[in-house]
Chains A and B, each alone.
Chain A
C-alpha cells in the first residue's frame, strides 16, 4: 500500500457548542481518488478548509508527508471551495495567472500550465473575456483550472460535481482520474454516491465530525457482513423464506430485492436461485456504497 501523504490526526474544531470536527482521523494516498462523504453538516467542508488553514483546529493536526501542513506546502496544493468564486470583472487568463503566481510560480511557468488547461477545456478563445461574460459551464471550467494552476500534488475539491450537467460531470470524472493516475493525491467531497462508487478507490465517510468508515471501497464492501440479492423472474415467486436473517428491501411483480444478514449461507442462496422456474436475472452482491453509507450514517 502507498504511503499516506495527507493525514488528519484527531482533528477537533468547535464552533461554539457545535463540534464540526470531533477527533477526525483519516488519510489520503497519492495515485488514488479518495471520495469524502457525509451528510450536510457532517464536517466535510470544515475538514477541507483546515487543510488550507482557513479553519484553525482546536486540537489535533493535519499532516502532509508526516509534518503539520505549512504555507510552503499549501503552495503545492490546489483547492476548489464549495462556494465557487472568481473576480467577475477580471479577464480569464489574467485571473488564472494571478492565482498561479500567488503560489510562488513564475509568470512563464504559470502561463504554460494555464494555457494548456485553457486549450484542453476549450476556453482558448475566451482568454481575454471577463469571467462574468462566460456561461455557467465555462465559469465552472475556469474555477477548476484555478485549482490546477500550480500543478498541485494535493487536490482538494469541495463538491466538484455539484451544478454540472451530465457531460461536464463525465469530463470532470475523467480529469480527476487522470490527475490521480499521474500521481496526485485527490480528495473530493460529493453527495453523488453512485458516481463516487464508480470513480473512487478509497472513501472516507464522516458524520458529526467523526470518521465512521474509511478505507479502500472494495475492501469495505467485501468486509460488510450483509449481502444483497436481486432477483428478476417470471412465473411463481422464488422460495426465499428458507434463508436466514433475511430482510425484504423491495417486492414487486417479477422482482424481489433482499438483504441477507451476516454469515449468509451461500449454498442456501444458490438453492433459492436454482429453484426459480423462469429466472430472468439473479444478482448476489456485497452492499453498494449507498447502502454502506445509509447503514453507517445514523440519521
Chain B
C-alpha cells in the first residue's frame, strides 16, 4: 500500500474521531450560536424593521404629518405619526420608548437621549417646508410655483474610507477576515499540536509507526484536521449567510467572490505552514503541558502577522504592508487584506503564494525530520537541535534497513547524552 494511501487513512481517522468528539461538537454549536447571535440580535433590537415613531403635540399645522411622511419617504424611512393631547403625555411616551422623538408646537424636538441626526433632518426639513408653504400662501404665491421654487437639489453623501476605491465596509470586511483567519489558523494549528502530543504521550505512536512512515502519519494528521477545519468554517459561514438573508438585519459587506476564494487559499496555506511547525514542535514534548511552552514562539510570530495585517488594512501600500504580505509567516494574514483592499498588482499574490508554498515545502522537510527524530523519545522535552540530529529512521519505510546512513554516522558523534531514550534497551 502506498504511503499516500496510508496518509489518507490517517486523515480519515482524524476527521471521523474528531467530528465524533464531544469537544468538537460543542465548539461547533458555540460557533453557530455566536454567529446567529451576531446576525439575529441586532435585528431584534432594531424594533420592528425600520419604522420610526414620531409624536406630535401642541400647535401643529395640518400639513405637517404629510410633510414628515414625504420627507421620510424620500430618505427611505417609514414614519408612523402619533398625536398626544399634552406635552406631558408625549414626554411619557418618549421616555417609555413608544416614540423616538416628540415634536412640540412644531418648534422643539424632544429626544429620550441623543438625537438621531437623520430623523432630525427629516423633521426640521418638514417643519421648514410647512412654514414656507404657509408664508408663500400669505404672500400670494401659488402652491405650484412654490413647489418649483423649493424642489430639492439632490445632495449625495459618500464615505470614501482611507483607501481609494474601497469603502469603510470593505475595511470592516477585511478586518473581520483577518480575525477569522487568525482564529482558524491558530485553532486548527494547536489541534495538530495537541494531537501529536496525545499520540506520543499515549504511546500509540510506536504501534502506528510500525505500520506507517512518520511522514505519512504527520501529513495525514495535518490533512485531516485541515479538512475538518474547512468544513467547520464552511458550515458556519453558510449558516451565517442563510440567517442574514432571512433576517435581513445587517448589511453584508460587499466582498467579491474572488476575495473569498483568496481567503480560502490563504487559510489552506497559512494552516499548512503553521500546522507543520506545530506538529514538529509537538513531537518534542512528552506531555500536553509541555506542548504549550514549546509552541509559544510560534504563537508570537502568528500574533506579529496578525498585527501587521491591521497595518495592511489601513495603509495597504505602505512598505511594511508590502513586506508583511510577502513574508511567508505573515503573508497568510496580510496578503488577503491587501487583496481585499484592492492594493495589489496582479503578480503580488502569485509571488506571495509561491514564497509561502516554498516555505511550506522546506518546513515539511524540517518538520518531518524533527518529528521522526523526536516522536519515539520519552522523558523531558527535547531540544529542537537534538531532535534534528537524532536518528531519523522513521522518515521512510522504503529505505532498506541495511543501508548505512549518513545521518546515523552524524548522530554517532553528535549526541553523546541519551538521558531516558528508549532505544538504549
CA A121 – CA B273 in complex, angstroms?
A: 45
Cα A167 to Cα B163 in complex, Å, equals: 78
A70 touches B1 (CB 8 A): no
Partner of A68, one of B198, B211, B402, B407: B402
C-alpha spacing A14/B408, complex, angstroms: 8
Q: Which of B41-49, B82-90, B324-332, B389-397 contacts A (4 or more CB under 8 A)?
A: B389-397
Smallest Cβ distance from A43 to chain B, in angstroms?
Answer: 7
Q: Digitize B15-44: 1 where CB-to-A-CB distance is under 8 Å, 0 elsewhere.
A: 011000100000000000000000000000
Question: Do residues B425 and A99 form an inter-chain contact, with CB atoms below 8 A?
Answer: no
A14 to B416, CA, bound (A): 10
**Binary contact track B398-409/A, C-beta < 8 Å → 1, others 0:** 111110110111
Stretch at the interface among A22-30, A80-88, A226-234, A262-270: A80-88
A259 interface contact, C-beta 8 A? no
A79 and B411 CA atoms in complex are apart in Å by: 26
Contact A56–B424 (Cβ < 8 Å): no
Minimal beta-carbon separation of A32 from chain B (angstroms):
23
In the complex, what's the smallest C-beta–C-beta distance from A154 to chain B, in angstroms? 12
Q: A59-B404, A68-B402 are in contact. Are A86 and B207 (CB under 8 A)?
A: yes
Cα(A277)–Cα(B373), bound, Å: 68
Q: Which residue on A lies nearest to B217, using beta carbons?
A: A102
Chain B minimum-CB-distance residue to A150: B211
- Check if A18 sits within 8 Å of B418, measured CB to CB: yes
Who on chain B is nearest to A105 by CB? B1
- Whether B203 is near chain A, meaning CB under 8 Å from some CB there, is yes
- Bound state CA distance, A53 and B9, in angstroms? 20
Asked whether, in the complex, the Cβ of B21 is within 8 Å of the Cβ of A81, the reply is no
Residues of chain A with a CB closer than 8 A to B408's CB:
13-14, 56-58
A98 touches B13 (CB 8 A): yes
Among A44-52, A238-246, A282-290, the stretch in contact with B: A44-52
Residue in B378, B393, B411, B418 whose CB lies within 8 Å of A83: B378
Please give the number of chain B residues whose Cβ is less than 8 angstroms from any Cβ of chain A in the complex: 52
Min CB distance B406 to A, Å, is 11
**Does any Cβ of A come within 8 Å of B209's Cβ?**
yes
User: Would you call A16 and B412 a contact (CB within 8 A)?
Assistant: yes
Looking at B407, B412, B424, the one whose CB has the most chain A CB atoms below 10 A away is B424
- Decide if A101 touches B9 in the complex (CB within 8 Å): yes
* CB pair A74 B210 closer than 8 Å: yes
With A14-B412, A79-B207 already in contact, the answer to whether A56 and B393 are too (CB < 8 A) is yes
> What is the CA–CA distance of A49 and B414 in the complex, to the nearest angstrom?
22
Given A61-B401, A70-B397, A15 contacting B203 (CB threshold 8 A): no
Which residues of B in the span 185-236 have a Cβ within 8 Å of any Cβ on A?
A: 198-199, 202-213
| Range for the number of chain A residues in contact with chain B | 35 or more
B153 at the interface (CB under 8 A from A): no
How far in angstroms is the closest Cβ of chain B from A2? 23
Say yes or no for B422: interface residue by CB 8 A criterion: yes
With A46-B425, A53-B397 known as contacts, the answer to whether A86 contacts B202 (CB < 8 A) is yes
Closest Cβ neighbor of B412 among chain A residues: A14
- Chain B's nearest CB lies how many Å from the CB of A190? 13
Is A77 close to B, CB under 8 A?
yes
B6 at the interface (CB under 8 A from A): yes
Q: Given A17-B416, A45-B422: A58 and B409 within 8 A (CB)?
A: yes
Q: How far is the CA of A55 from the CA of B421 in the complex (A)?
A: 12
A78's closest neighbor in chain B, by CB? B210
**Which residue, of A42, A61, A71, has the highest number of chain B Cβ atoms within 10 A?**
A71
Q: Is B415 an interface residue (CB 8 A)?
A: yes
Q: Is A195 an interface residue (CB 8 A)?
A: no
Q: Please count the residue pairs between chain A and chain B whose beta carbons lie under 8 angstroms apart in the complex.
A: 149
Interface residues of A: mostly helix, strand, loop or mixed? loop
In the bound complex, residues from chain A placing their C-beta under 8 Å from that of B204 are 85-87
Complex interface: chain B residues within 8 A of A14 (CB)? 408, 411-412
Minimum CB–CB distance for A172 against chain B, Å = 18
Assess whether B210 is in contact with A75, with CB atoms less than 8 Å apart: no
Confirm or deny: B423 has a beta carbon within 8 angstroms of a beta carbon on chain A. yes
Does B294 sit within 8 A of A, measured CB to CB?
Answer: no
Q: How many whole Å from B17's CB to the nearest CB in chain A? A: 6
A89 within 8 A of B: yes
Q: How far is the CA of A13 from the CA of B408 in the complex (A)?
A: 9
Q: In whole angstroms, what is the CA distance A85 to B375 when docked?
A: 14
Residue of A nearest to B416 (CB): A16
Do residues A56 and B401 form an inter-chain contact, with CB atoms below 8 A?
Answer: yes
Task: Check A275 for interface membership: any CB of B closer than 8 A.
Answer: no
Task: Kindly identify which residue among B209, B211, B398 contacts A70, using a CB–CB cutoff of 8 Å.
Answer: B398
Closest chain A residue to B202 by CB distance? A85
Does B424 lie within 8 Å of A85, measured CB to CB? no
B392 lies within 8 A of A99 (CB) = no
Q: In the docked arrangement, what's the CA distance between A75 and B405, Å?
A: 23
Q: Bound complex: CA of A74 vs CA of B400, how far in Å?
A: 12
Q: Are A16 and B400 in contact (CB under 8 A)?
A: no
A82 CA to B210 CA in the complex, in Å? 13
A196 at interface (Cβ–Cβ under 8 A)?
A: no
Residues on the A chain within 8 Å of B399, using CB: 53, 56
Q: How far in angstroms is the closest Cβ of chain A from B368?
A: 14
A27 to chain B, nearest CB (A): 16
- Alpha-carbon distance A146/B205, docked complex (angstroms): 13
Of B9, B203, B212, B405, the residue contacting A56 (CB under 8 A) is B405
Q: Which of A16, A18, A44, A54 contacts B376 (CB 8 A)?
A: A54
Shortest CB distance A269–B (Å): 41
Contact sample, A vs B, 19 pairs, CB 8 Å cutoff: A15-B411, A16-B416, A16-B418, A17-B416, A18-B424, A41-B424, A54-B206, A54-B376, A54-B394, A56-B393, A58-B405, A58-B409, A71-B213, A82-B422, A83-B203, A85-B202, A85-B207, A86-B204, A99-B208
Closest 10 CB pairs of A and B: A85-B203, A56-B393, A45-B425, A61-B402, A71-B397, A104-B1, A52-B210, A68-B400, A85-B204, A81-B206
User: Which B residues are closer than 8 A to A by beta carbons?
Assistant: 1, 3, 6, 9-10, 13, 16-17, 21, 198-199, 202-213, 376, 378, 391-394, 397-402, 404-405, 407-409, 411-412, 414-418, 421-425
Other than A46-B423, A58-B408, give 11 A-B pairs with Cβ distance below 8 A.
Answer: A43-B425, A49-B376, A53-B210, A54-B393, A56-B399, A57-B404, A60-B402, A62-B402, A85-B207, A94-B16, A102-B10
